[in-house]
Amino acid sequence: MQIKVIRKILEANDQVSDQLRDMFQEKKILVLNLMSSPGAGKTTLLESTLTDLKDEFNMAVIEGDLQTSNDAERVAATGAQAIQINTEGGCHLDGSMVLEAANQMDLNQVDILFVENVGNLVCPAEFSVGEDYKITILSVVEGDDKPEKYPLIFAESKVMLLNKVDLLPYVDFSLEKASNFARSLKNDIEIYPVSAKTREGMDSWYQWLRKEVKTKKSA
Ligand SMILES: Nc1nc2c(ncn2[C@@H]2O[C@H](COP(=O)(O)OP(=O)(O)O)[C@@H](O)[C@H]2O)c(=O)[nH]1
Ligand SMILES: [Mg+2]
């Protein structure tokens, strides 16, 4: 019985996310669903990306958190259009929340829409929000066994960003071990070690964004 209910919830979400996907496709917006545990650096990565690529792309952000509009304020300070969703206890964003937020935004000239999901490595993986790709950020302070412990989110992701590499000298984290686990779950996952703080490695991430925007526009 419980399984049926869960299936119905996921099916209802798939319908809304298909609607979102059509809307985003029509406008040729690259939509990226950013997922990670709390504190891995999603908002910091957005702040750096929005600042560094400001002159190249029109970017907008939908922020998801249980409470507060802190993250929307942080990203809006870069000049990007940003809107905050508060899930008030909900552990992930779903299609209908993102649809409501998207309807309040001006997406006509937007090239990239980032959706910062609620911080955890479990629930967000289950729910599509109409994105082109899911991106998972794992920071090096969390331990290199996380892809093995939370396989679904990594198996669902197009890209894994290994953030906070500036802290590698202080923690026991093997980039190779984390990467190998992630590849065993998804063999073509793209992996970029970065520091959203010092900008180390960020150029590879930016190159990936440039490539994907181009593909989207020509589709
Ligand atoms: N050393 C270091 N700290 C970082 C980096 N990225 C984020 N942080 C810090 O990690 C904390 C959480 O970052 P935040 O972006 O709010 O994470 P979020 O919860 O995933 O959005 C903040 O104190 C950031 O300054 C990084 O690349 N290196
Ligand atoms: Mg955040």
Q: Average pLDDT for residues 188-212, to the nearest whole number?
A: 98
Whole-number percent of the chain with pLDDT over 90: 95
Q: Is the pLDDT of residue 131 over 80?
A: yes
Centre of ligand 2 from the C-alpha of residue 218, in Å:
31
Q: How far apart are alpha carbons 92 and 66 in whole angstroms?
A: 9
Rg, C-alpha atoms of the chain: 17
CATH number at residue 191: 3.40.50.300
Q: What domain range is 33 assigned to? A: 2-218
The owner of tokens 């990467």 is 179
CA–chain centroid gap for 125, Å, is 10
13: nearest Cα among 121, 118, 107, 131: 131
What lines the ligand 1 site, CB under 6 Å?
36, 38-44, 119, 163-164, 166-167, 195-197
Contact 202, 52 (CB under 8 A): yes
Instruction: Give how far Cα 171 sits from Cα of 44, 122, 141, 160, 198, Å.
Output: 20, 24, 6, 19, 17
> Total structural domains in the chain?
1
* pLDDT at residue 1 greater than cutoff 70: no
- Alpha carbon of 67 to ligand 2 centroid (Å): 11
Side chain identity, residue 204: S
CB 80 within 8 A of CB 202: no
Q: Which residue's CA is the closest to the ligand 1 atom numbered 12?
A: 39
Ligand nearest to the CA of 138: 1
169 SS3 class? helix
Q: Tokens 């029509």 label which residue? A: 26
CA of 143 to the centre of ligand 2 (A): 19
Choose the residue to mutate in 33, 44, 48 for probing ligand 1, maximizing ligand atoms within 8 Å of C-beta: 44
pTM, rounded to two decimals: 0.96
| 108 C-alpha to ligand 2 centroid (Å) | 25
**pLDDT over 70 (residue 151):** yes
